[in-house]
Structures are given as C-alpha cells and as structure tokens.
Structure 1
Amino acid sequence: MSAAADPAPLAEVPAAWADLTFFRDDWPAIAAHIAAEDRPVYPPAPRIFAALQACAPRDVRVVILGQDPYHSPGKADGLAFSIAPDFRGPLGSLGNIFRELRDDLGVERTRQDLSDWAEQGVLLLNTALSVPAGQPKGHARIGWDRLVAQVLARLDDTPRAFLLWGGPAQSIAARHLKNPDHLKVMSAHPSPLSAHRGFFGSRPFSRVNEWLIAHGQAPIRWA
C-alpha cells in the first residue's frame, strides 16, 4: 500500500491529536510528498510527530514555536530546537538558547536533547515538521501550516505561555491565537544569523516561569 493511502509506516499519528482533521485531509498528501523525496528527510520518519507525541493537549503549559527541523544529518530529533544526544557538530540556535538561559537564569545546560522540557508540558513545535537534507525551509509550503493552525486553535482554549521566536512563528500565532490571556514572549529567532537582533537579553525563561507561578503552576526546570 502506498504512503499516500496509508501514512502509518512513515510516522505514527499521535493519539492525543488524532482527531484533528489535518490527519484525515492533509497528512496523506504530505506523506506521499516526503516518500517521493530523492534526498534524505529529517527528522527520521518515526520522529516526525515527536513533539505532539510527547505532549497531549491537556498537558501543554508552554509552547515554543520554531521554524523547521535542522537540515544536517543526525541533528534533528523531532522536537523544535532539540538536538539528538549523539550529534557532535555545532549547536547553532540551541547554543544561543543555552547562552540566553545562562544569562537569564544563571544556569548552565549542556544536555542538547530537550525531551525533559517536553515532559514538563513544553510543546516544542516547528511550523514545518520535516525538511529535506541541506535545504532549509524546503518543506515549508507542503501543507504543514494547516497542522500548526489546528494545533494552535486547539491550544487557544485556556491561557498558556508562548515563546514566539522569529517572524514566521509570530505571524502564524497572530492568525490563530485569539485568547487575550495568553502570555506571548516575542523576539528575534535564536539563529546565529539573527540572535543579536533581540533574542539575547529577551529573558524568555524567567518571564515564562514568573507567569506560570502567578497562575498557580509550577515553573519549568529549564536547566
């Protein structure tokens, strides 16, 4: 059976989000597009929906909205900004996130796998969930925006904290987040190309924790 008819061999649909119409109406065509690629696609197929598999809607307290996965071999693990633990190359955006975390909260982090954040209710979602090798934003226009729109609409029901880094994240959030009680922390993207234009010094981690505490929730253990 083809990937278009049955996407399950490519990536398991996350059970807690399976009722989103995206998985019925859009995912088969995206799966076929990915299967037809003549280049490697990142993250590995079983990790494409890792962010949604890690956080059911009811558990999401914070959303970090990225752009697309890392396009280098062995780096993307399906969680936005997270890097597979055995990757030994440059950290790029994640290195700048760690620098801001140190400056903001005075804590050092070396673990590059961010699954511990996801376990605390931080949804690490990219605006595109796949990327062909060596081509940033190569899958930005194949339909992933419809999934992100539906996820954000689902999460608009109750106040949550959103870290919106870069123009694409801010643009899609502006279209789909209507609840006036959300916390929205907006800044430049942490990429080495843009971090100096407002990401550094934005104090996103302390601002989120202050907001969570004010709303009677436990702070995120970022370190």
Structure 2
Amino acid sequence: MKLEKSWNTYLSAELEKDYMISLKNFLTGERQDYLVYPKEEEAFNSFHKTPFNKLKIVLLGQDPYHGEGQAHGLSFSVPEGIKTPPSLVNIFKEIENDLNIKNHGKGDLTKWAEQGVLLLNSTLTVRKNMAGSHQNKGWEQFTDKVISTISSKKESVIFLLWGKFAQNKQKLIDKSKHHILMSSHPS
C-alpha cells in the first residue's frame, strides 16, 4: 500500500503502526481466500487522484461497492462501462435538479477527484458481495486519521457528510476552519 507523495508527508508514519500492519496481514489472507474489491493497486486510488495539495472537498462514503467490477478506490464512483449504482443515480438527479447539469449516465467520478474532490470511503476494501465485510479491521482508524489530518493541516475544505455514518465524523473536523455540509444519504 503506497500513498501519493504529498499524502506521504502526513501519513507515512501511520502506515507503519501496529493496527495497519494487522490490517495488511488481514488483507493478504483475504486476497488469498476471497475476491476483494477494489483491486489491491486501486485501494489508495482516492489519494493518488487527489493529491493533498490539490484537495478542496471531501466526499465521505462508508465502504466500497461490493459487486463485480464496481469499486475502483473512489467513493460513490464506478469505472467507465459499469452500470451506475442507485446512490450515484440519486446524486446525479440532485445535481441536475439544482444546477441543470445532466450526467449522461457516466458513473466514473475520476474527473471530480482530479479537480480536488477526495472521494474517500471510511473502509477502503470489501469482500465480493459482502457489504461491510472489512469494517472494524483498521481502515476506520486510518481514514479517521486522514480526516483529522486534513482538518489540522488544511483550511477552508468543504466536507460533504451524507447520512448518519458520515455525519458522526464531524467530531474530527475543526468547524472554525472548514465547511461541513450534511444531508441524508443518497441511497
């Protein structure tokens, strides 16, 4: 697991902590016995597509899509050619209603990530067809550290917290430095 270099400045020590070593060992075993999404090289895609110095917005999801070919390391996003999941369809409906911008059925949000939207799931991997299967294995501790690092090292970041799970993360964010927008989950 390798982070993009601007993230490494803040999080490289975190990757060496005991809980992350346990998580890496867990993932090695999972990948030997099961199909795990996203592919190993895409687990940190959100960091590679949105370098720390370009970050403007955080869109927090819970865990990756668990259907075949759906997850590619960006929350709410699916690779080109994959059917758009219901949550993302609802996001696009809201964008169209509010801004009159049509999506044309493309569920790949890579362009958003490249423009500074960190599409971060709280859990970065999942076993095929088993939603939540990698929760409480260490990912949440790591992504909580990501959120608190953004909060302490950046200013004026917009955090989009949709649903109760994401809204519980607001305690990690300095509200005097950042903007928090909360709403129901788009599912």
Pair 1:16 & 2:6 matched:
yes
1:87 deviates by: 1.5
CA contact (8 A) 1:164 1:185 kept: yes
More helix by share: 2
Q: Percent identity?
A: 34
CA contact (8 A) 1:16 1:53 kept: no
Pair 1:33 & 2:33 matched:
no
Pair 1:86 & 2:81 matched:
yes
TM-score w.r.t. length of structure 1: 0.76
Match of 2:150 among 150, 155, 158: 155
Match of 2:165 among 149, 163, 168: 168
Letter in structure 2 aligned against 1:181: K
CA contact (8 A) 1:13 1:23 kept: no
1:72 deviates by: 0.3
**1:49-60 superposed matches below 5 A:** 49-60=44-55
Match of 2:183 among 184, 187, 207: 187
Match of 2:127 among 125, 132, 137: 132
Structure-1 residue corresponding to 2:93: 99
**Residue ranges of structure 1 left out of the alignment (5+ in a row):** 1-10, 192-223
**Residue ranges of structure 2 left out of the alignment (5+ in a row):** none
Give the match's secondary structure for 2:161. Answer: strand
Structure of higher RCO (CA pairs closer than 8 Å, 6+ residues apart): 2
Q: Distance in 2 between matches of 1:170 and 1:178?
A: 14
Q: Distance in 1 between matches of 2:117 and 2:134?
A: 24
Structure-2 residue corresponding to 1:178: 174
Structure-2 residue corresponding to 1:43: 38
Q: CA RMSD in A?
A: 1.4
TM-score w.r.t. length of structure 2: 0.90
Letter in structure 2 aligned against 1:13: L
Structure with the greater alpha carbon radius of gyration: 1
1:18 deviates by: 2.2
Corresponding residue pairs, total: 179
CA contact (8 A) 1:166 1:186 kept: yes
